[in-house]
Chain A
């Protein structure tokens, strides 16, 4: 089968995406498929029309690839693609939207306030900062509404640092969240099809936050999979993750990031298209479930084709 591997693009996570893509190509080769690497740019539609792949494996991260844009184009071209559909991607990409949906569905997510730059420029939102800080307490987390890999995420320990953190956040997106910091353990639950894979715990070795550099460097972060949790807690975490996955309408595969604090698990975000690099969490979880990377890729592809034929029957 000819499988286009969509990767690169111009998101800030281009480098990560190229690494994910290369691994997927490799696996597809080994599975006997014909991978067609496509660095996503202005000629994407033209190339997809010319090459007519049987399916597209989306190994893109960040805006453009993970936000439903590429998915929409693939729908129009009638090419089956991996991972969640357009609507789910839109919801996951915007952390504000995702958090509203999660909260409405009764899934715990840390308190937050979100603003765009206009609110500060034109509506005097700065005057509300004091109340926000009082409500969320310190430390608090400031992060861009979209984007992944912890780019632009700042842990702020007092109010003097807030403006600077907001400026940093607005470098990545026009909308920024201030979020209550949950002290606790960092967990990730990957969902494949409708099954939760074993829980991964990330244990940063150096910094307070699981930052971008730690994420992609072998040896910087310790991972435990399956995470060392008692049965009840593990069930609660898995339940929360599965509910978050379905609430946001995800299909195929995605990764749910949670914090396990004193009050139990709280969902931070859902990554519609999780990283597939050597140090990414989803492949590690699959491995713990006895799925080698090739098998993971094969399963993700299979789910894409199933969804597409189900849609065709409607």
Chain B
């Protein structure tokens, strides 16, 4: 028997029924929009080592040279310990902005120093923009599907999120125009359009140049801001780079959101926003209230890292890895998924978006997949309105090619089982017959002038 001990500063272990009601009464109205989800609970299992997780959005940090990391941190400790441990300016250090300009310059954009704020990851940039612009009930427009991490931000500010369907060329800007018209008729003004135009998370699609032009025209003529979130622009595996919206528009109606998470490290939490001065002024005040400044230590590390002059080399090495992994995933999908499934062919970024027959709910399917020790993100996380239930996001950056193949094989297996069971239950055409039938229909559909079919893509060679 051990001595009774009272660990200091521990919350009392019993939360009573009475307490629950008491707290519920204290919660702000906006917390109603903050939802935990069954999915998040299921995700608790993906942390186990035997699970092949295609669910994360993690970049591969294993190839970052530890020696170089050590040298940079040692230099900081020896030469600028006091400064690196101190608070910094809310907007971020000028030297950090120089590094940011190098990254943006690589994509053909060169904004002014004053228009940039350094943030704690790109996520904070989304939060600050929304905090600055959105009152409860204000419309915010985004893609369908949209970045799952943006949904809770919009919800926490009680935005009325309107999603615009995507196809292989990104957001349907014609649909956007209709929505803008409708809102204008209703006398409502959307505060901003949130878009990940390049290698979108989660769909993996890229907004075409024509649509980019049309989108910025709309932003200008309707006086609506566009928040261009561009975490993956430099991770291109094929084709020519497309101009960022910020470059096309000039920065009057486009707010640019960037991050080093996918090209250096998500752990350092370094992102940024570029916005017109009046917006920036409020964003800076918002940042001050949120966390005063972005980690000084992180900014010192970034400065040292960029001073080495090899950041581009590292990005290129990542591009090489990720391209092989993407190819491995597309190859595995073509071999292991049934013909009823469709998926996108991303030219860059970290994700493939797959869509199954509508009778399969991917949140339930995840439970079955987890029994086979494999995980993905169910599509409904990328929608605010319950759509996306038959889709899934698959990440290829965080697993080896062997893991990807095995993971896709296992997911394919559970889908096959569900498809066959459904056929048994309904007496529908067996899978093979359906594949043939669909083959002919696809040919018809691919004729020029045909309807745009949302995110339709079979991964059949051709890359």
Contact = CB atoms under 8 A, between A and B. Distances in A.
A171 B418 contact: yes
Given A151-B367, A278-B15, A287-B16, A170 B10 contact: no
Interface in A1-55: 1-2, 10, 12-16, 18, 23, 26-27, 29-34, 41
B425 A292 contact: no
A288 interface: yes
A138 interface: no
A162 B425 CA distance: 9
Interface in B155-208: none
Contacts of B150: none
B364 A171 contact: yes
Given A15-B44, A30-B6, A129-B425, A219 B14 contact: no
A166 interface: yes
From B11, B14, B48, residue with most partner A Cβ within 10 Å: B14
Interface string A167-183: 11011100000000000
Nearest to A200: B17
Taking chain B's interface residues, is the majority helix, strand, or loop, or is none over half, making it mixed?
Answer: helix
Contacts of A31: 4
Contacts of A217: 35-36
Interface string A196-223: 0000000000000001110011110001
B199 to A, nearest CB: 30
Given A12-B42, A120-B425, A121-B424, 12 more contacts: A15-B41, A16-B41, A26-B11, A30-B6, A31-B4, A32-B5, A170-B418, A171-B367, A171-B368, A217-B36, A219-B27, A219-B32
Contacts of A294: 13-14
Contacts of B366: 171
A117 B421 CA distance: 8
B445 interface: no
B421 A121 contact: yes
Interface residues of B, number: 50
Interface residues of A, number: 53
A175 B214 CA distance: 53
B82 interface: no
Nearest to A293: B14
A175 to B, nearest CB: 13
Interface in A118-174: 120-121, 126, 129, 151-152, 162-164, 166-168, 170-172
Taking chain A's interface residues, is the majority helix, strand, or loop, or is none over half, making it mixed?
Answer: helix
B2 A167 contact: no
B24 A219 contact: yes
Contact of B35 (A23, A34, A120, A213): A213
A10 B13 contact: no
B13 A27 contact: yes
B370 interface: yes
22 contacts: A12-B42, A16-B41, A23-B13, A29-B10, A30-B6, A32-B1, A32-B3, A34-B2, A120-B424, A163-B359, A163-B425, A164-B361, A167-B421, A171-B364, A171-B365, A216-B36, A216-B41, A217-B35, A219-B27, A219-B31, A283-B14, A283-B16
Contact of B360 (A167, A172, A223): A167
A212 B24 contact: no
Contacts of A271: none
Given A15-B44, A151-B367, A213-B35, A293 B24 contact: no
